[in-house]
Structure 1
Amino acid sequence: MDLNCEEEEDELGFSRNYFLAKELGSSGKKSTHKLSDIDVVDEQELRAAASNIEPKHKNETAVLMDNYRHMYSQWVFALRCGSGLLMYGFGSKKALIEDFASTSLTKYSVVVINGYLQAINLKQVVIAISEILWDQLKAKRKTLSHGLPKSHQPFSSQSMDDLLEFLDEAEAEAEEDCFVCVVIHNIDGPGLRDSETMQYLARLAACTHIRIIASIDHVNAPLLWDKKMVHTQFKWCWYHVPTFAPYKAEGMFYPLILAHGSATQSVKTATIVLQSLTPNAQSVFRVLAEHQLSHPDEEGMPINDLFSVCREHFLVSSQVTLNSHLTEFKDHELVKIRRHSDGQDCLYIPLSAEAIQKLLLEISQ
């Protein structure tokens, strides 16, 4: 009995010492280190370093890509049967899909949507698709006297519903093997994943002479669609095609966790967007930028003033034209609107004066 008592006392003593040590440790001075104290590298330097990393297993990935190329004929067959292609698996599928489109879809028109961008003007994409299909119909038929009631109306002036209705009505006029391929890199990207946009894409995919080739990377991407969208509109054929390729293009527009956000990166992103726009749109943006640089104390440039200056320089002919440019700017967050003290809506560029100057130099080259 005495031996057992001694053992129990030892155990109790150990327990007391353990909790006493924990209490003394917690009563000490807490660390003053904060996450903000971490000396993180500049974003441009981090991206440059990441781009210089040598890819591993080049031979194995090359063999993998060759195996996928043997599947191209199967993918084309699926498209001709009316299905859409959905690529999933680890690694960027951008190069794989573009190689497939450039080698196996040469007899079809191809429209590309970069879903990894933060904002996408889907209506402009649908307008482009409508114009392509219209040109194909004109080439197939010498006269289009029926079946296309809105053909006399410019596509740019039509609503999304009218455009999709045109694509539906054009089905009877086109041949069975006449279709437009729509490549969507990252259909689960931030610019496309909202419910309204996905409904429009599903309606687009349901048109007989439209084919969707898309990629997904988010684990919850299938939750974007219901059964009707999957089986009767998109009509997906799922293909597991891991490429193990880095997400270079897709990651360009996302801030890096271990890096500062920098004005240089903002200028680079804005430059990419502006260079994809028309020269007139760039000139309108330049007018706004120069006004902001010359009037740093003002809250922005009133829309009416911008229209007057642009009309004087023959950049726009109507308020509708200016609004189309402004919609493009706002979709890509190049320009924002705020209320002036006198009640007017004013436009401003959410960049520093130094960043705006760099941006103007970039688009002038």
Structure 2
Amino acid sequence: MPLIPTSFDAYFAYSAANPRTSSSVFSNLVLPLTAEEYNASIAAASPRLRAPQPAISAPTIQNALFSRFMIELQEGFNILCFGYGSKRQLLNHFATHFCSKKGHVVVANGFLPDFAIKDLFSQIDNIPEVQDLGMTSLTPEKQAQMLSSYFSEKGKSHLYIVIHNIDSPVMRTPRVKSILSLLALTPNIHVIASIDHINSPLIWSSSECISRKSTSFGGATTPRGFSWIYHDLTSLAPYDFELANIDRTSLTSAHGGGSRKRVGFTSNLASTLNPALPGGGTTNISETAALHILASVTQKAQKLFTLLANRQLEAIEDGPGTEKEGQGVDLQATAIGYDALFNLARGDFVATNDTALRALLGEFRDHGLIVSAQGGSGSGGEVLWIPLRKERLTSVLQKLQTQT
């Protein structure tokens, strides 16, 4: 009599099986847009429906709310704005027309992928009365302590710090939280911040939220905390500016921090233009990212990239592939064999042996600027190419030549 597996056994048998994932992902089919292309496309698009106007858009309601903000800031609280829609323009308006009349204003764009806490202190250091403190060569922790001591003195000017998206991964680290908590409870420093993530209130403990600023100036120690007052600042405005600096074809752009999963670049799918070459499996890279990578490598590595790029552009011109609407050239059909690239590199004195060439390629492989796959039955060797379409690859080469 055959054994019938129970639901208990079936559950663990199913859980132990390897999950199947599709190799046809969105980031492989659509090339990433640059920030300029994205902004131009958004500006050219005409809305089909009239956008709803929230109550906060009325000037009278805005002025009343912002006046209340100023009173709460003077009473020792800090403002934390939530709600659907971009709050950037509203907070910038508040900083320009209200905060700037009472003291110095510094704006931090926490939503930028490359934002760091040192960028905030660089802006603060540009304030005339702060320049005499000599904070440039200090660590962010020392700079925060020096600013806290300076603005804790009676009679000093007020400093308003506007932070867009304080819930971004960069601003959520324990180090940045500790620095901001010291500044937020300094008597003459006021923080106005925005959040968009639904779980953002969990970033701060209850003690950090309810901590109050010291009423006396020149105290020995400054407490740490934020003393938040929450305000609904629903604007229903699109997040165009916040999203302009990310790769819109990559799910990792919405990653919430922590380690990222490395993408594999080898594929066994057939190419659409050349069946002898494998296709797919590549991750397209933006022009800005390519320039950042090239700026951090050696001159020999840059020369190797130039050799491969020129060879790929020639292959695109001579190849049968033409760009169709919404679909680019199959770049793998323009790939160059490893042996052919080695001959080019040796002839141009870039790499004289296999070890040197693979060392130069390693940096590009790690960042996805050069990808590879095993050739088909015709060649069988490794083939390499750059995942940039023709006009972007040409632009990268031109900018690289002007820099060198």
Unaligned runs of 5+ in 1: 1-31, 139-150, 275-284, 299-339
Distance (whole Å) between structure 2 residues aligned to residue 128 and residue 297 of structure 1: 37
Identify the residue that residue 213 of structure 1 maps to in structure 2: 192
Considering only CA atoms, is the larger Rg found in Structure 1 or Structure 2? Answer: 1
Matches within 5 A, 1:184-333: 184-232=163-211, 233-256=225-248, 262-263=284-285, 266-268=286-288, 292-296=301-305
Unaligned runs of 5+ in 2: 1-19, 212-224, 252-281, 308-354, 371-385
1:128 aligns with 2:123: yes
Residue pair 2:124, 2:130 contacting (<8 A) in 1 also: no
Number of aligned residue pairs: give it: 262
The superposition leaves residues 189-243 of structure 1 with CA deviations (integer Å, 9 ceiling, x where unpaired) of: 1221222222221122122221111100001001110123212221112110111
The superposition leaves residues 274-304 of structure 1 with CA deviations (integer Å, 9 ceiling, x where unpaired) of: 8xxxxxxxxxx86857553224499xxxxxx
Identify the residue that residue 112 of structure 1 maps to in structure 2: 107
Which of 116, 127, 138 is matched with 1:158 structurally? 138
Aligned residue for 2:33, secondary structure, equals helix
The superposition leaves residues 120-148 of structure 1 with CA deviations (integer Å, 9 ceiling, x where unpaired) of: 22134224325527449x7xxxxxxxxxx
Distance (whole Å) between structure 1 residues aligned to residue 296 and residue 200 of structure 2: 41
Residue pair 2:306, 2:397 contacting (<8 A) in 1 also: no
Q: State the Cα distance separating 1:269 from its structure 2 match.
A: 6.5
Q: State the Cα distance separating 1:362 from its structure 2 match.
A: 6.0
- CA separation of 1:55/1:125 partners in 2, compared to 1, >3 Å: closer, same or farther? farther
- CA separation of 1:208/1:258 partners in 2, compared to 1, >3 Å: closer, same or farther? closer
Return the letter of the residue paired with 2:33.
Q
Distance (whole Å) between structure 1 residues aligned to residue 21 and residue 164 of structure 2: 42
Q: State the Cα distance separating 1:348 from its structure 2 match.
A: 5.8
Q: State the Cα distance separating 1:92 from its structure 2 match.
A: 0.6
Which of 27, 33, 38 is matched with 1:44 structurally? 33
The alignment's C-alpha RMSD in Å is 4.3
Residue pair 1:127, 1:163 contacting (<8 A) in 2 also: no
Which has the higher relative contact order, 1 or 2, with Cα contacts under 8 A spaced 6 or more apart?
A: 1
Q: State the Cα distance separating 1:165 from its structure 2 match.
A: 1.9
1:91 aligns with 2:85: yes
TM-score of the aligned structures, taking structure 1 as reference length: 0.58
Identify the residue that residue 103 of structure 1 maps to in structure 2: 97
Q: Compare the two structures and name the one with the higher helix fraction.
A: 1
Residue pair 1:289, 1:356 contacting (<8 A) in 2 also: no
Distance (whole Å) between structure 2 residues aligned to residue 33 and residue 226 of structure 1: 39
Aligned residue for 1:69, secondary structure, equals helix
1:54 aligns with 2:42: no
Return the letter of the residue paired with 1:44.
L
Distance (whole Å) between structure 2 residues aligned to residue 113 and residue 60 of structure 1: 27
- CA separation of 1:100/1:56 partners in 2, compared to 1, >3 Å: closer, same or farther? farther
- CA separation of 1:362/1:223 partners in 2, compared to 1, >3 Å: closer, same or farther? farther
Residue pair 1:181, 1:213 contacting (<8 A) in 2 also: yes
TM-score of the aligned structures, taking structure 2 as reference length: 0.53
Distance (whole Å) between structure 1 residues aligned to residue 298 and residue 124 of structure 2: 32
Residue pair 2:152, 2:186 contacting (<8 A) in 1 also: no
- CA separation of 1:172/1:225 partners in 2, compared to 1, >3 Å: closer, same or farther? closer
Q: State the Cα distance separating 1:262 from its structure 2 match.
A: 4.0
Distance (whole Å) between structure 1 residues aligned to residue 362 and residue 129 of structure 2: 36
Q: State the Cα distance separating 1:181 from its structure 2 match.
A: 1.0
